[in-house]
Amino acid sequence: MEESVRSQFLIDLEDELFKGAVTLSEWCNFIVCESDTTFIAGADLATIITAMAGIETHLRTEYPLDRRANLCDLIEQAPLNEDLKQEIQTLRKYRNRWVHVADPEDDQDLLDNSEKYTQELEDMARQAVRTLRRTIYENQWV
């Protein structure tokens, strides 16, 4: 996907999901911008990782729990609708597969099917920027 198409995807997401106003912490705002930058540049794995960082930062700011609460607990205890919680959990589990590679020496499938993984990462990056926006725009002032 070309940069112009990726940029338009983000613009379309804004048009679809942003209906009012939100307050974001500076940390969250910075991470969202980084996620957008990596998405437009085509760095799909980086997009997924930074989008999840943005989601976690927003949840920690908007719905504070114990500072040591793990991401799973933050998601489950946040007053988000259930389909958004499930979407975040799916993204979290996908991210974990890449961040916590169980057996890095077992790479034959990646070598044999790199196009499959590239397409999967692109699809998940699109989902990640959508989920990030659904999360930060969940509690808008309209």
Angle at 81 between CA 7 and CA 79, to 5 degrees: 110
The string of pLDDT tens digits covering residues 74-118 is 999 999 999 999 999 999 999 999 999 988 888 998 899 999 999
Residues with Cβ within 8 Å of 63's Cβ and at least 6 positions away in sequence, in order, are 74, 77, 78, 79
pTM attached to this predicted model: 0.93
Question: In angstroms, how far is the first alpha carbon of the chain from the final one?
Answer: 33
State the residue for tokens 């725009």. 137
- Give the Cα separation of 132 and 52 in Å (integer): 7
Domain boundaries, the chain: 3-136
The string of pLDDT tens digits covering residues 51-72 is 999 999 999 999 887 778 899 9
